[in-house]
Chains A and B, each alone.
Chain A
Amino acid sequence: MAMRIRDNVPDAERGRECSAAIGALFTGVFTMLDSWRTAVEKAGADNATTRIDSLVYSLVEPELTVADPLVIGAGFIAAPETALSQALHFAWWLGPLSDNPLLGTTTKPSRLDLASREYAEYLRDFRAFEWYQVPETTRAGHITGPYVDHLCTCDYILTLTVPVGVGGSMRGVVGADILVRRLEPEVLPLLRATESAIALVSSSGRVILSVSPTLRVGSIVSEASAASRGWDAVPCPGTQLKLLMGENI
């Protein structure tokens, strides 16, 4: 993290620096996703699938194999080819895994193979997933979660997705998964550098991480409940995430 939180300023100012640093962390990922989107859009709409697949792999492979990667999975999920079809095409890879319940331990990126996930056959239309539906509707980047991803990582993650498509057409989303576990060493020190930052929560108030044992990961702090405890919700710039600030009770 390039941004530092100064200790010689009032705590409200440190809170803003903290939220800015968290915003910068995620903005970095969105900037990467924007460059992937441009690359996929440039490759054209009628590209053979295998060519798109190898293009996407060349984009995500360096991110997944870097030492201590921030993203655990990444790729491009293509819209159905015809209006009649619901089938999405997944050009999606998982980084090297240790002891994953589905894939075991891997040393190289492995491609998501949904056909091998028989338990997922009950899912009818993947476009209903938040990571697809919201960017499709808003035409903007979106952070889904924290949630249990049972299709891919089988873990607790955030998914960042950005819509792909020139001139309003929807060609799919490029995205990246980040383990909540991986965020803790990045973000907790930022919270601790302030007096009053308590938790990082999603747009719907779901706790991603917190320094308070009473605010459990995955639980929801509604706006009303935060207000009743006198907490401020400070937006993290460039994201829909919020930093809860106030007295730790």
Chain B
Amino acid sequence: MSSELAPQPSSRGARAAVFAQLSGAGRSEQVAQRLIDAILLGVLTPGDRLPSEAELAQRFGVALVTAREALSAMRDAGLVETRRGREGGSFVLPVSRAPEALLWARLRGLARVDIEDSAVYFGVLSAGCTERAAEMAPDEEAARLRLWLDNADFAQVSDAARNAGGFYLEIAVISQSPRLVREQIRLQAEFGSLLWLGVADENLRRNIYGQNVKIAEAISAHDPEQARALVRGQLSELSSWLLAAKERIEQ
């Protein structure tokens, strides 16, 4: 998540919600989770100083030792650093590329309705881009998309995630609409890393590549309906996988 791509003004309300009181079991995990989500969502930004252990304990309504455990877990995850001295404290570090563990934590932290809704929105946007690309693409651009896809690696997990997103960005470019391109970039910065978690699954990875080949063919054949249906199908498969994974880790 680059702050340049997804400017997230940290409103006072959002900050207050980060530090609202907690209840229930596993409180140190909950404290850490709340802070991790705040960092991933940009409410807390690199360089921000977290409240002290004592303040955290008070604000979350947990024991001092619980707050200490939570901060220690975040240090271990490379999210904050603790400096000593008068100007000391725990400071948020830049998260250039959210490690997978953090994404899983974020998946746990999001409501099902929000995951579903983000996937629907991304699906509608991408289906629209694809439909228009199928209407607009001259033969050489369709061929260029196909060539890019032929050489794109979907075998490795990290490459597959990057290329799955890149594929939709290429399609948005072919649509000739700057607004659609910007919205693709914005949405992928916000939701892409989570959405492509499913490429960790080898079967899903293979399916996505196969679907992308068919999408490129539909664009090339100027078949907007087929292209749209394929994109919606892929997004539906990805969101099903995410919801199933969420169910697994929460059981």
Query: Cβ of A148 < 8 Å from any Cβ of B?
Result: yes
Instruction: Encode A109-148 as 1/0 by CB contact (under 8 A) with B.
Output: 0000000111101111000000000000000000000111
- Interface size of A by CB at 8 A reads 24
With A119-B188, A155-B178 in contact, is A150–B4 under 8 Å at CB? no
Cβ contact of B136, chosen from A102, A122, A219, cutoff 8 A: A219
Q: Which residues of the partner chain B approach A123 to less than 8 Å between Cβ atoms?
A: 166
Within A67-119, the residues touching B (CB, 8 Å) are 101-103, 116-119
Instruction: Encode B180-205 as 1/0 by CB contact (under 8 A) with A.
Output: 01100110110010000000000000
Query: Cβ of B207 < 8 Å from any Cβ of A?
Result: no
Instruction: Encode B154-193 as 1/0 by CB contact (under 8 A) with A.
Output: 0000000011011101001101111001100110110010
B176 adjacent to A156 (CB under 8 Å): yes
Closest Cβ–Cβ distance, residue A121 to chain B (whole Å): 6
B178 adjacent to A148 (CB under 8 Å): yes
Query: Cβ of A220 < 8 Å from any Cβ of B?
Result: yes
Q: How far is the CA of A5 from the CA of B176 in the complex (A)?
A: 32
The CB with the most chain B CB atoms within 10 A, among A101, A147, A204, is that of A101
Instruction: Encode A153-197 as 1/0 by CB contact (under 8 A) with B.
Output: 011100000000000000000000000000000000000000000
Cβ contact of A122, chosen from B97, B152, B182, cutoff 8 A: B152
Q: How far is the CA of A124 from the CA of B167 in the complex (A)?
A: 13
Within B131-171, the residues touching A (CB, 8 Å) are 136, 138, 140, 151-152, 162-163, 165-167, 169
Closest Cβ–Cβ distance, residue B168 to chain A (whole Å): 10
B163 adjacent to A102 (CB under 8 Å): no
Q: Which residues of the partner chain B approach A238 to less than 8 Å between Cβ atoms?
A: none
B151 adjacent to A124 (CB under 8 Å): yes
B173 adjacent to A147 (CB under 8 Å): yes
Q: How far is the CA of A122 from the CA of B177 in the complex (A)?
A: 20
Query: Cβ of A23 < 8 Å from any Cβ of B?
Result: no
Closest Cβ–Cβ distance, residue A211 to chain B (whole Å): 19
B189 adjacent to A119 (CB under 8 Å): yes
B169 adjacent to A122 (CB under 8 Å): yes
With A218-B136, A220-B136 in contact, is A122–B163 under 8 Å at CB? yes
Closest Cβ–Cβ distance, residue B243 to chain A (whole Å): 25
Q: Which residues of the partner chain A approach B136 to less than 8 Å between Cβ atoms?
A: 218-220
B185 adjacent to A154 (CB under 8 Å): yes
With A102-B4, A121-B162 in contact, is A154–B182 under 8 Å at CB? yes
Instruction: Encode B1-28 as 1/0 by CB contact (under 8 A) with A.
Output: 0101100000000000000000000000
Q: Which residues of the partner chain B approach A116 to less than 8 Å between Cβ atoms?
A: 2, 4
Closest Cβ–Cβ distance, residue A201 to chain B (whole Å): 12
Q: Which residues of the partner chain A approach B165 to less than 8 Å between Cβ atoms?
A: 119, 122
Measured CB to CB, the nearest residue on chain A to B166 is: A122
Q: How far is the CA of A219 from the CA of B176 in the complex (A)?
A: 8
Q: How far is the CA of A155 from the CA of B178 in the complex (A)?
A: 5
Closest Cβ–Cβ distance, residue A94 to chain B (whole Å): 14
Q: How far is the CA of A230 from the CA of B42 in the complex (A)?
A: 57
Instruction: Encode B214-243 as 1/0 by CB contact (under 8 A) with A.
Output: 000000000000000000000000000000
Closest Cβ–Cβ distance, residue A226 to chain B (whole Å): 14
Cβ contact of A154, chosen from B163, B176, B181, cutoff 8 A: B181
Closest Cβ–Cβ distance, residue A215 to chain B (whole Å): 14
A118 adjacent to B5 (CB under 8 Å): yes
A residues near B (Cβ < 8 Å) are 101-103, 116-119, 121-124, 146-148, 150, 154-156, 204, 206, 217-220
